Structure 1
Amino acid sequence: MNNQDRIISVARKTIETESNAIANLATLVDAEFSEAVQYIFNSEGRVIVTGIGKSANIATKIVATLNSTGTPAIFMHAADAIHGDLGTIQKNDSVICISKSGNTPEIKVLVPLIKAIGNKLIAITSNKESFLGQRADFVLHAYAEKEACPNNLAPTTSTTAQLVIGDALAMCLLDLRGFSSKDFAKFHPGGSLGKKLYLRVSDLTALNEKPSVHPDTDVKKVIVEISEKMLGVTAVVENDSIVGIITDGDLRRMLTKEDNFQGLTAKDIMSSNPKKINNDAMAIEAMQLMDDNGITQILAEENGKYCGVVHIHNLTKEGII
Structure 2
Amino acid sequence: MNTKNAIIANAIKAIDNESNAIKNLASFIDDEFAAAVSFIYKSKGRVIVTGVGKSAIIANKIVATLNSTGTPAVFMHAADAIHGDLGTILKDDVVICISKSGNTAEIKVLVPFIKEGPNKLIAITANKNSFLAQQSDFVINAHVEKEACPHNLAPTTSTTAQLVMGDALAICLLELRGFSSQDFAKYHPGGALGKKLYLRVKDIAMVNLKPQVSVDTDVRDVIVEISEKLMGVTAVVENEKIIGIVTDGDIRRMLSKYDNIGKLTAQDIMSENPKTVGCDVLAVDALDIMEKYGISQLLVEKENKYFGVIHLHDLIKEGII
TM-score (norm 2): 0.93
* Residue number in structure 2 paired with 1:101: 101
Bigger mean CA offset, 60-69 vs 179-188: 179-188
Residues 124-171 of structure 1: per-residue CA shift (max 9 Å, x gap): 111222222222111111121111111111111110111111111111
For residues 273 and 9 of structure 1, do their structure 2 counterparts lie closer, same or farther at Cα, with a shift above 3 Å needed?
farther
1:247-262 alignment runs, 5 A limit: 247-262=247-262
Runs ≥4 residues deviating over 4 A: none
* Residue number in structure 2 paired with 1:291: 291
Amino acid in structure 2 at the alignment position of 1:94: V
Amino acid in structure 1 at the alignment position of 2:47: V
* Residue number in structure 2 paired with 1:225: 225
1:1-321 alignment runs, 5 A limit: 1-321=1-321
SS at 1:320 equivalent: coil
In 1, Cα distance between equivalents of 2:294 and 2:253: 18
Deviation at 1:239, TM superposition (A): 3.2
SS at 2:161 equivalent: helix
Residues 77-102 of structure 1: per-residue CA shift (max 9 Å, x gap): 11122222222211111000101111
Residues 165-190 of structure 1: per-residue CA shift (max 9 Å, x gap): 11111111112112222222222232
Deviation at 1:218, TM superposition (A): 3.3
In 2, Cα distance between equivalents of 1:115 and 1:34: 22
SS at 1:83 equivalent: coil
Structure 2: give runs of 5+ residues left out of the alignment: none
For residues 292 and 100 of structure 1, do their structure 2 counterparts lie closer, same or farther at Cα, with a shift above 3 Å needed?
farther
In 1, Cα distance between equivalents of 2:17 and 2:293: 44
Residues 223-245 of structure 1: per-residue CA shift (max 9 Å, x gap): 22212222110112233222222
In 2, Cα distance between equivalents of 1:265 and 1:60: 63
Q: Identity over the aligned pairs, expressed in percent? A: 69
Residues 252-279 of structure 1: per-residue CA shift (max 9 Å, x gap): 0121122223443333322233222211
Deviation at 1:41, TM superposition (A): 0.9
SS at 2:299 equivalent: strand
Aligned-pair RMSD on alpha carbons? 1.8
Deviation at 1:297, TM superposition (A): 1.4
Bigger mean CA offset, 53-62 vs 278-287: 278-287
Bigger mean CA offset, 255-264 vs 38-47: 255-264
Amino acid in structure 2 at the alignment position of 1:133: A
SS at 1:301 equivalent: strand
SS at 2:152 equivalent: coil
In 2, Cα distance between equivalents of 1:177 and 1:226: 50
Residues 189-248 of structure 1: per-residue CA shift (max 9 Å, x gap): 324344333322112111122112233433233222212222110112233222222110
Amino acid in structure 2 at the alignment position of 1:290: M
Report the number of matched residues. Answer: 321
Deviation at 1:116, TM superposition (A): 1.9
Amino acid in structure 1 at the alignment position of 2:76: M
Amino acid in structure 1 at the alignment position of 2:270: M
Deviation at 1:290, TM superposition (A): 2.5
